[in-house]
Amino acid sequence: MDLTHSLADEEIKTEEEVVEGMDVTTRSKGPAVAFPEGLPQDHGDSQQSNPGSTERPGQKRRFPSPQHSSNGHSPQDSTSPSKKKKKPIMINSNNKEQSELRHGPFYYMKQPLTTDPVDVVPQDGRNDFYCWVCHREGQVLCCELCPRVYHAKCLKLTAEPEGDWFCPECEKITVAECIETQSKAMTMLTIEQLSYLLKFALQKMKQPGTEPFQKPVSLEQHPDYAEYIFYPMDLSTLEKNVKKKMYGCTEAFLAEAKWILHNCIIYNGGNHKLTQTAKVIIKICEHEMNEIEVCPECYLAACQKRENWFCEPCSNPHPLVWAKLKGFPFWPAKALRDKDGQVDARFFGQHDRAWVPMNNCYLMSKEIPFSVKKKKK
């Protein structure tokens, strides 16, 4: 997937072309194509606060910043957290070419492998210091594809993995982006179309109250932020990455968004008000990514709100059913999917949604499945 073309050289498509192309059955792996901005623009002059607007919890322990940081601290100032990383055995040492790993925004060159089995504290500045699961320090496993690190205990590993190790997030993304294992929704979308849908998701993530996360944290106001946060992330950075078409699947976008919550917990603490806001942002993101996976065409129609959008059939039409919830009459709905004996029903009218037991759903007919009989007096 070539994402290195400059936007100036990309072919411009109209919004109509994007919509018309939503029924593509084969995912395009060609050059990225720019699409018109169809979303509300952010107002940069609005008054916004930063995620670090309050003082950091007292129990946070200071550790040295990477060498590229501008906070003036050197590795000699304090002791860094103990990070445990196994060095794998040498493979094909005569090969002068290093294998390249490209994964979303992360682009690393694998260092030459050695036979030294000693565990070391990484000095290459490629990894975070805090576990992706519990957001605490300690001996951690470093992913070879991204900056994330994990405690072996948090992953419930009985033994430390040998050789190059890839974290659960990267494994999910790899499976989601592989042509042979990608979801049905991803086979329907090109990178350009997915990026177009992600712009709508971003707008929904910008709920009132999320202003502190809509722009990067000011290092002038919070000079120690870089000492704690390895990989800063905010909604404006996500938006820039979407415009660059850096995400090849919904899993990649969600994994990137999770840095917002991870960083907020590290700097502000797990019980801080801003952390609760960050959790809401991630919940919205998870919901939007799930909706794209269920049906990209339904998601696009719901976002654009064209006239009679709910009645428009998708390229793979959804069954129309009579669905009944307890305490309600049978009501016409679209059955988007079924899971564990439940049907994901999207009702006509107010467009409510619910998981309805399969035995309470009947294919659409002219008459309601069960007519109400009047009781005899």
Per-residue pLDDT, 52? 46
What lies within 8 Å, CB to CB, of 317 at 6+ separation is none
pLDDT over 60 at 272, yes or no: yes
Most confident stretch, 10-14, 112-116, 290-294: 290-294
Mean pLDDT of 79-108: 36
Per-residue pLDDT, 126? 84
Domain at 318-377, CATH from 3.40.50.450, 3.40.630.30, 2.30.30.140, 1.10.510.10: 2.30.30.140
Domain 7-29+186-303 has CATH 1.20.920.10: yes
Q: Which residue spans within the chain are E strands per DSSP?
A: 100-103, 106-109, 141-142, 149-150, 320-323, 331-339, 342-347, 353-357, 361-363
Domains 7-29+186-303 and 318-377 belong to one CATH topology: no
pLDDT above 70 coverage of the chain, percent: 65
pLDDT over 60 at 16, yes or no: no
What lies within 8 Å, CB to CB, of 245 at 6+ separation is 3, 32, 191, 192, 195
What lies within 8 Å, CB to CB, of 299 at 6+ separation is 197, 200, 288, 291, 292
Mean pLDDT of 6-27: 45
pLDDT over 70 at 215, yes or no: yes
pLDDT over 60 at 88, yes or no: no
Mean per-residue pLDDT of the chain: 74
Per-residue pLDDT, 22? 54
Per-residue pLDDT, 92? 33
Most confident stretch, 98-102, 276-280, 317-321, 364-368: 276-280
Per-residue pLDDT, 241? 97
The 10 Å Cβ neighbour count of residue 303 is: 20
Per-residue pLDDT, 353? 86
Q: 36 or 71, which is more confident?
A: 36
Q: Which residue spans within 256-318 are E strands per DSSP?
A: none
Mean pLDDT of 210-217: 96
The whole-model pTM stands at 0.67
Instruction: Identify whether the C-beta of residue 305 lies closer than 8 Å to the C-beta of residue 194.
Output: no
pLDDT above 90 coverage of the chain, percent: 50
62-78: per-residue pLDDT in tens?
A: 343 333 333 333 333 33
- Quick one: which of 145, 233, 252, 278 has its CA closest to 195? 252
Q: Report residue 160's pLDDT band, with 50, 70 and 90 as the boundaries.
A: confident
Q: Report residue 373's pLDDT band, with 50, 70 and 90 as the boundaries.
A: low
Per-residue pLDDT, 372? 54
Per-residue pLDDT, 20? 52
Per-residue pLDDT, 309? 87
Q: Which of 70-79, 137-146, 155-164, 189-198 has the lowest mean pLDDT?
A: 70-79
CA triplet 63, 126, 151: central angle to 5 degrees? Answer: 65
pLDDT over 80 at 265, yes or no: yes
Per-residue pLDDT, 133? 97
Q: Report residue 248's pLDDT band, with 50, 70 and 90 as the boundaries.
A: very high
- Quick one: which of 258, 267, 252, 274 has its CA closest to 3? 252
Per-residue pLDDT, 245? 96
- Domain extent listing, the chain: 7-29+186-303, 79-178, 318-377
pLDDT over 70 at 188, yes or no: yes
351: left (phi over 0), alpha (psi -120 to 50) or beta: left
pLDDT over 80 at 131, yes or no: yes
330-350: per-residue pLDDT in tens?
A: 889 999 988 899 999 999 988
Tell me which CATH code domain 79-178 carries: 3.30.40.10
Per-residue pLDDT, 307? 85
Instruction: Identify whether the C-beta of residue 135 lies closer than 8 Å to the C-beta of residue 148.
Output: no
Q: Report residue 202's pLDDT band, with 50, 70 and 90 as the boundaries.
A: very high
